[in-house]
Amino acid sequence: MMQSTGRTPVAILGATGLVGQRLISLLSRHPFFEVAELAASSRSAGKPYGEAVNWQMAEELPAALAKLPIHPCDPSHCRSGLVFSALDRSVALEIEQAFAQAGRAVVTNAAPWRMEADLPLIVPEINADHLDLIERQRKQRGWPGFIVTNPNCSTIGLSLAIAPIQIAAGVDQLIVTTLQAASGAGYPGVPTLDLLDNVVPYIPGEEEKIETETKKIFGSLIGEQVEAATFLAAAQVHRVPVVDGHLMSISVKTRQPLDPLEAIDRLRSFRAPREVAELPSAPVPPILVRGEEDRPQPRLDRGAGNGMAVSLGRVRSCPILGLRMEALSHNTIRGAAGGTLLIAELLHSRSLLP
Amino acid sequence: MMQSTGRTPVAILGATGLVGQRLISLLSRHPFFEVAELAASSRSAGKPYGEAVNWQMAEELPAALAKLPIHPCDPSHCRSGLVFSALDRSVALEIEQAFAQAGRAVVTNAAPWRMEADLPLIVPEINADHLDLIERQRKQRGWPGFIVTNPNCSTIGLSLAIAPIQIAAGVDQLIVTTLQAASGAGYPGVPTLDLLDNVVPYIPGEEEKIETETKKIFGSLIGEQVEAATFLAAAQVHRVPVVDGHLMSISVKTRQPLDPLEAIDRLRSFRAPREVAELPSAPVPPILVRGEEDRPQPRLDRGAGNGMAVSLGRVRSCPILGLRMEALSHNTIRGAAGGTLLIAELLHSRSLLP
Amino acid sequence: MMQSTGRTPVAILGATGLVGQRLISLLSRHPFFEVAELAASSRSAGKPYGEAVNWQMAEELPAALAKLPIHPCDPSHCRSGLVFSALDRSVALEIEQAFAQAGRAVVTNAAPWRMEADLPLIVPEINADHLDLIERQRKQRGWPGFIVTNPNCSTIGLSLAIAPIQIAAGVDQLIVTTLQAASGAGYPGVPTLDLLDNVVPYIPGEEEKIETETKKIFGSLIGEQVEAATFLAAAQVHRVPVVDGHLMSISVKTRQPLDPLEAIDRLRSFRAPREVAELPSAPVPPILVRGEEDRPQPRLDRGAGNGMAVSLGRVRSCPILGLRMEALSHNTIRGAAGGTLLIAELLHSRSLLP
Amino acid sequence: MMQSTGRTPVAILGATGLVGQRLISLLSRHPFFEVAELAASSRSAGKPYGEAVNWQMAEELPAALAKLPIHPCDPSHCRSGLVFSALDRSVALEIEQAFAQAGRAVVTNAAPWRMEADLPLIVPEINADHLDLIERQRKQRGWPGFIVTNPNCSTIGLSLAIAPIQIAAGVDQLIVTTLQAASGAGYPGVPTLDLLDNVVPYIPGEEEKIETETKKIFGSLIGEQVEAATFLAAAQVHRVPVVDGHLMSISVKTRQPLDPLEAIDRLRSFRAPREVAELPSAPVPPILVRGEEDRPQPRLDRGAGNGMAVSLGRVRSCPILGLRMEALSHNTIRGAAGGTLLIAELLHSRSLLP
């Protein structure tokens, strides 16, 4: 453990991957949290972090962290009460459960738990109330700790982009075509030969995640149950030669009429609930609506709101579904590490951390 | 003029641009036609072609053509009866009209004439019958020659992809999101800084072209009038870092039910009318339906059918419109030079050339 | 003019280009300077800056600057005593001379003046003493103001990389092969079709600049004359598909023996003179020597020292010239806007500004 | 085995990799050889080739080959007398030796055997005489078959580029800086995140291969011994975002004076010995010297001579070593599959095949 500074010590599971690195980068000067423990697969365990990681962030790896020894992903080796998981889906279920059983609060970016009925799937600006599932989860599973999940990288940007429309007029049908960045597949991820002078119109499992997670996020918490939203969603995904930033082409049919100018107004004025807006990583505003006809663009707009805001553009009428727009969000910040961090900040401010 | 070989001599207007180069490349060993005259803007006129052009094709520029002097774009300087136009839209109207008035058959890739009621807009596999408009055009305008137009590069691939569906079940609604190659903007075209680690969600005028031209192509020739198809079409376009090959994500609602397996069957068995299928540049079959879940991809599939076929993949049901798929076609071959050439071959085989 | 804040008001000529934008970005919170006036070509003059510019920086354009009206590039329209010039070479000579004649201090990034005998060509860490040429310049040309020049973007990184070697052992022969980023050509700059799945082994005038400017920078100021360094330099340049960051492969023959370990030691311990090291934009240290065998890399290392440091790697012996290494520097920060700014800071700290 | 056609049946080891695929593509209509057997790792063995391979070539996989079952890499499972090896270096030594022991002629692209004293390392245009080592090899090792090796992908292009200079004036010193394509690392090979908006200044083992193999290729066969050439060679390598085509920046010091115009003349008039020039895959001429100042470029020039020729440009004097130039060759054709094939054709025409 590093020396205390009054901040809450946290552990990062899967610390050597891209999302783990981004978490370390985002946590390097955080007002609430301090990286105390880094854990990774047995291949890395025991080495100093700086030796085990292939550091890819633009900022230098903080020297103190470079020296931190890597722990195994096992609660008996980590003392932190708050645990960020950037684990690979193949091992996430088992390890995260062990941490919850050991009384830790786990905020995970991994996919496997997301659609479990008693696990909250949270975009803080939209469904902070779903955190009430934690109680049911603990009761039902007999865990002293708990697990909260961060949605898929595309799902988060999409959900934020349509949240004001859902509130204003109700989403009825949703067609989304994505152009997703290479970093979404982690490192090594997609081979150069697949994305040089090329585009791949497929990402395994991605379309299902977008179609199902969105409905859970916009679901209503009734009693101890989230009743999924009932709109229809259809996703078609592509991997494009972009480092960071998922772009989405969105067409929406609303239940109530909503003309594009009104939609722009609703999108621009959208704000998170105060308890969320005041969190250190919350972007204010969460949505930027750009007026240029050729924006948003990944390289120019992914950094908006420190990578936590969603940039929209080309909001206009669609002759078929009624409304269409382009949305962009930073997939490894808002869509992964930053989203996870914002959830943890919310847990902290609600005093839900051990 | 080059020496005769029994083949029909042809002129190319706008010969130094990317589409002009591609035409020269495709015509280099053509059974019907022989490049006899090259014309370009006054900046190039007078120079040998090899000096004026920034040759970008993979094949070497034929030595005989490198020496051809560039003519001005003026019918008094070109004797060929068949004229391919790859002119920029800003000058196409005036120059092409002058050639038609001078009795030449003009097949143009330029946009301005396409939606004129008396000008055929042709995808030979789909609406060869629209060539009957030529007679009306000549009568109405008093031209001894005529102009036939080749659709927009995205429109051609889209039209071929949905033609069998239109025949089988009637297209009612059509949502298309494109990922278009850099070559579609010509040379110099899109700056590197716009497409390196980036995507641009806009191409001026492109969405309107896709939405309107498609309806004219599928229109019915009634008397001397094309009555446009009545489906609804919505296009959202993107420029992506790909050299050649426009990829399109297509969702279709049909008038009659059409399940995906039946659709695949119709797409695979689609054939052009015999008079078209026998033309030298006609791809047989015009449509390839791939079974891999991650195809078509621009770099791997744009060369299908010598760049003249459309590759489809991921044909499956859409929870909203009913049917969706990915389509790819080579934008400077099928979508421009090759499409133009196929029209000219059709005119030749119908003995419509002067 | 914007409201005063006690900081020195500055004007930027050529404010809409990439280097101008970068200057604005670097000056947005500068301790010495404040952007007061923006000037550009007559095409933009009169418009608010936010309308005229195609803003490409990752940070948002400050709102106050977006509203600044663009002035013509004429000293009668600009009152600032310190003028940064990011003008195109075709107009730089005449305009910059007019500003110097009007008593302004011009720090220019443009090429034309660089090799003039009475104009200092400055890399502050290396040859701050060459600023003494200003006096000769004023006397000789009768200018109340003066012009100081910033070297070519590749030259700066190269000069910093070899400075400690020159000091330690004397450079005798220098072969450099560059891999330069697209942003070095400005915007629109290099067409996508030239750099997608491609490399261009040529940049007009670049090799000559590298070969000659380097010798002037390392020249000795003797009396009022810079006697150019006498080493031999050979440059071969390439444009590669990278947004920012020029990579250089350098082989050096020294006059005195210098083994690689000693060289690494000298490179690592190199420091600017104190008056330079204390400037706000000076990187400390100016040179980072990386130990990984596959670094420096443009995307990972261009941000070192806020884009002002040079990253070296693979410092090892060369069987022919003796020493070789890879060097990387950010071409629009250290190699252009940031380099210019560092010179201005030096002029400010020496009280040489009007 | 496929049905006989009078052509020599051949086996390909490592048939599923990029080089194996390229070999299949090049052999699809070969006058001497016919692909009869495909072998790969045990993971693929037993499957039809079409199922096991991730086919990346622009041409469709021939249907007959798609059905060929994959054999294990074991001489007891392959009957062909001529065996092309595109095996990974980790397994090449053992497997290739087994084939040679089983009486087969193995032409390999793998690195491990190349520098063995009794194994010929062949660029047919340069050192066909080194094939005489085969006899020594068989005698010494007691193999009824033999192994001939194809050089490293960069080495081949470099060797061809300097061969006429070596003949005309003797190479004394050679500095080469490479910009190598992604395909050189095979598939999956280099991650997208390493080459998008980036360059990597390192490829494991590559510099040593270039420096040592070149000297063996230009070595003199004296008795049964190749005495390596004695020039000094220094290589510095980079991986760049290019699909195919290695570009090299070359500086040469010759033993006898050779001015650039004379060098261009020698390069242009260079021809292979007649027995090589008449082989089906031999490019005539082997070297193209381009006059444009910005060529060769990978995308435009890699296809020269069907990917078998080397394109040179910017041949000019170097102020330090005397002569410099840019060279480009297709790394998976000339540098791998095509080079291997040309060696096999030479063995065939010399009746050295079993």
The model's pLDDT over D162-185, given as tens digits with 9 standing for 90+, comes to 999 999 999 999 999 999 999 999
Superfamily name with CATH number, domain C153-331: Dihydrodipicolinate Reductase; domain 2 (3.30.360.10)
Residue D291: Cβ within 10 Å count: 9
C345, containing H or E segment: helix C338-349
Identify the pLDDT of residue C60: 86
- Strand B287-289 and strand B246-254: the pairing is unpaired
Q: Is the pLDDT of residue C327 over 90?
A: yes
Could you tell me what percent of chain C has a pLDDT over 70? 99
E-state strands within A237-336: 246-254, 287-289, 310-318, 322-329
Of the pLDDT bands very low, low, confident and very high (cuts 50, 70, 90), residue B59 is confident
The CATH code of domain B153-330 reads 3.30.360.10
Mutate to test the interface with C, among B21, B192, B240 (most CBs of C within 10 A): B192
Are C212 and C111 in contact by the 8 Å Cβ rule? The answer is no
Widest Cα–Cα separation across chain C: 60
Separation in Å, CA D297 to CA A111, C207, D178, D327? 44, 18, 13, 9
- Strand A246-254 and strand A220-222: the pairing is unpaired
Which range has the worst mean pLDDT, A39-48, C166-175, D196-205?
A39-48
Q: How far apart are CA D88 and CA A43, in angstroms?
A: 24
Instruction: Tokens 């297709």: give the residue.
Output: D330
Are C249 and C312 in contact by the 8 Å Cβ rule? The answer is no
DSSP calls for D67-92: HSBEEPS-GGG---SEEEE---HHHH
CB burial of D302-312 (b: ≥16 within 10 Å; e: otherwise) equals bbbbebbbbbb
Work out the minimum CA distance from B245 to partner chain C, whole angstroms: 13
Identify the pLDDT of residue B2: 46
CATH 3.40.50.720 residue window(s) in chain A: 8-152+337-349
Separation in Å, CA A106 to CA A81, A97, C125, D121? 8, 9, 50, 59
Q: Is the pLDDT of residue D73 over 90?
A: yes
Q: Is D54 exposed, middle or buried (0-12, 13-18, 19+ CB in 10 A)?
A: middle
Residue-wise pLDDT tens digits, B318-338:
999 999 999 999 999 999 999
E-state strands within chain D: 8-13, 33-39, 70-71, 82-85, 105-108, 146-149, 171-179, 220-222, 225-227, 232-236, 246-254, 287-289, 310-318, 322-329
Beta-carbon separation of A191 and D195 below 8 A: no
Instruction: Compare C105 and D1 and report the one with higher pLDDT.
Output: C105
Separation in Å, CA A353 to CA A73, A78, A344, D106? 20, 16, 8, 66
Residue C77: Cβ within 10 Å count: 13
Instruction: Tokens 């004695």: give the residue.
Output: D230
- Report chain C residues whose CB lies below 8 A from the CB of B197: 243
- Report chain D residues whose CB lies below 8 A from the CB of B182: none
Question: What are the residues whose beta carbons fall under 8 Å from the beta carbon of B106, sequence distance 6 or more?
Answer: B83, B84, B85, B96, B99, B100, B145, B146, B147, B148
DSSP calls for B26-68: HTTT-SSEEEEEEEE-TTTTTSBHHHH-----SSPPPHHHHHS
Nearest CB to C58 within list A59, A243, A303: A303
Are B251 and B326 in contact by the 8 Å Cβ rule? The answer is no
Q: Is the pLDDT of residue B148 over 50?
A: yes
Residue-wise pLDDT tens digits, D252-263:
999 999 999 999
Q: Is the peptide bond before B69 cis (omega within 30 degrees of 0)?
A: no
Strand partners, D236: D177
- Report chain A residues whose CB lies below 8 A from the CB of B241: 197, 240-241
By three-state DSSP, how is residue D125 classified? helix
The two three-digit tokens of residue B162, written as one number: 């949905």
Are C252 and C316 in contact by the 8 Å Cβ rule? The answer is no
Of the pLDDT bands very low, low, confident and very high (cuts 50, 70, 90), residue B5 is low
Identify the pLDDT of residue A2: 46
C60: DSSP letter: P
Separation in Å, CA A259 to CA A172, A251, B211, B318? 15, 13, 21, 25
**Is the CATH number 3.40.50.720 carried by domain B8-152+337-349?**
yes
**Smallest Cα–Cα separation from C171: which of C251, C259, C252, C268?**
C252
Residue B111: Cβ within 10 Å count: 19
Beta-carbon separation of A320 and B201 below 8 A: no
Distance of CA B190 to the CA centre of its chain: 20
Instruction: Tokens 């055997």: give the residue.
Output: D113
Q: Does the ipTM exceed 0.90?
A: yes
Could you tell me what percent of chain D has a pLDDT over 70? 99
Q: Is the pLDDT of residue D2 over 80?
A: no
Measured CB to CB, residues of chain B less than 8 Å from chain C are: 56, 182-183, 187-197, 241-243
Q: What is the pTM of this model?
A: 0.96
The two three-digit tokens of residue C27, written as one number: 């000056």
Q: Is the pLDDT of residue C1 over 90?
A: no
Q: At what angle do helices C153-169 and C260-269 cross, to 10 degrees?
A: 110
- Report chain A residues whose CB lies below 8 A from the CB of C59: 303
Instruction: Divide the 354 residues of chain A into consecutive groups of 10 and give the mean pLDDT of each group.
Output: 72 96 95 96 92 90 93 95 96 97 97 96 98 97 98 98 98 98 96 98 98 98 95 98 98 97 98 98 98 96 97 98 98 98 98 94
Identify the pLDDT of residue B42: 87
Mutate to test the interface with A, among D18, D54, D190, D193 (most CBs of A within 10 A): D193
Chain B nearest-CA residue for C194: B192
E-state strands within B116-170: 146-149
By three-state DSSP, how is residue B318 classified? strand
Nearest CB to B197 within list D59, D196, D300: D196
Question: What are the residues whose beta carbons fall under 8 Å from the beta carbon of D175, sequence distance 6 or more?
Answer: C175, C251, C318, C320, C321, D233, D234, D235, D236, D250, D251, D252, D321
DSSP calls for B159-203: HHHHHHHHHHH-EEEEEEEEEB-GGGG-SS-SBHHHHTT--B---
The upper half-sphere exposure of residue D202, i.e. CA atoms within 13 Å in the direction of its Cβ, equals: 15
Q: At what angle do helices D338-349 and D18-26 cross, to 10 degrees?
A: 50
Work out the minimum CA distance from B3 to partner chain D, whole angstroms: 28
- Report chain D residues whose CB lies below 8 A from the CB of B197: 196-197
pLDDT (average), residues C78-97: 96
pLDDT (average), residues D139-157: 98
Beta-carbon separation of D202 and C314 below 8 A: yes
C170: DSSP letter: -
| A246 assigned to active site | yes
C275: DSSP letter: H
Q: How far apart are CA B233 and CA A320, in angstroms?
A: 7
Chain C nearest-CA residue for B57: C193
Beta-carbon separation of D319 and C233 below 8 A: yes
Count interface pairs B-C at CB distance under 8 A: 53
Are B32 and B99 in contact by the 8 Å Cβ rule? The answer is no
Length reported for chain C: 354
- Tell me what the pLDDT averaged over chain C comes to: 96
Beta-carbon separation of C234 and D175 below 8 A: no
Distance of CA B167 to the CA centre of its chain: 21
